[in-house]
Structure 1
Amino acid sequence: MKRSFLLRGVVAVGALSIAFPAAFAQDVSGELVRCGAISDDGARLKCFDALVPNARKTDAQRQAEAAAKTTAEFGLTPVQRSEHAKRENPEKAAREELAHQQDLSVTAKIAAMDITPYTAVFTLDNGQVWQTTSYGRLNTIPRVGQGVSVKSGPLGGYRLTIEGKTSEVGVKRIK
């Protein structure tokens, strides 16, 4: 019993030591791109300077911080965790809120479509190709030349609505 528990602990620590550097690298690369896109020289330098203290941390320091965060957030619901993150990093929360407030949608006309009993594939006149992912009903037969709108869904994913109709169906972009 003790050997099994010890083996699980060693496996968990090994997995964490592999995961954290990769996650940190992705986070830093995104921040570097964001800083590089700033046109004002002073603001860009300030952005890069803010990344330096975090880049100098060792993997052990990052792992300790992650473990402390996990312990601090233990038992919180996803909503509570989100509110906690907003309090910890208000600048990042403001950027994310701005992205969510933008009207993220595409409006185009159906150029071609392929409908089977279980799925439908819509090729739009802007070159995008969308495939249905849910069994929702559009309450109409879509036609080539008809306008459609694809919007971000409330829980992620995308929803397609045909012009003049209120029903929608889940879709994913395949091209």
Structure 2
Amino acid sequence: MRERPLPRLLAAALILAAPASLTLPVLAAGQDDVLKCLGILDNGARLACYDRTVPALRNSPPGAPAAPAAPTAPAVLPPVAKEQSFGAERITDKSNPAVAARPQEAEAITAKLVSISQQTIDRYSFTLDNGQIWTQVVARSIANAKPGKMVKIEKGIVGSFTMTIDGVSGIIKVRRVK
């Protein structure tokens, strides 16, 4: 008669699984710290929490509880004016301070037109006194637009922006490039 291998397989599985089960409380203790970090809403503070917690998990020997992370104050970013960040969500340059720290945005801005550059026929780029540069999305004549005039840029539908210029009839569809 042939011997059944099932009891031997079960015994081998229990022996192999025993060391893993002995480290479960250590992982659970480290996971508690990581889960606390997960609950932090501010991106910078959450990253700082992970930076404090994960090295403690890596440096702790197996079977030893992870060292608790030392509490530190969350990093406070310098406030960026709402006007400076207006339309910045479309800029992909991460070195731009308006992109790096995005506070709650304004719904519209007003500024003085510093210069107008023609990109193509009936398509222009506008530099404002606050340093922002906006470009026309839809070609349109802007015959009366001149430097020194006031402009108003408002949020449009589905992430678009519209510009009105004093003395120029109608709206101009624009996107922010800087």
Structure label with greater radius of gyration: 2
TM-score bucket (shorter structure): 0.3 to 0.5
Which protein is richer in helix relative to its size? Answer: 1
**TM-score if structure 1 supplies the norm length?**
0.40
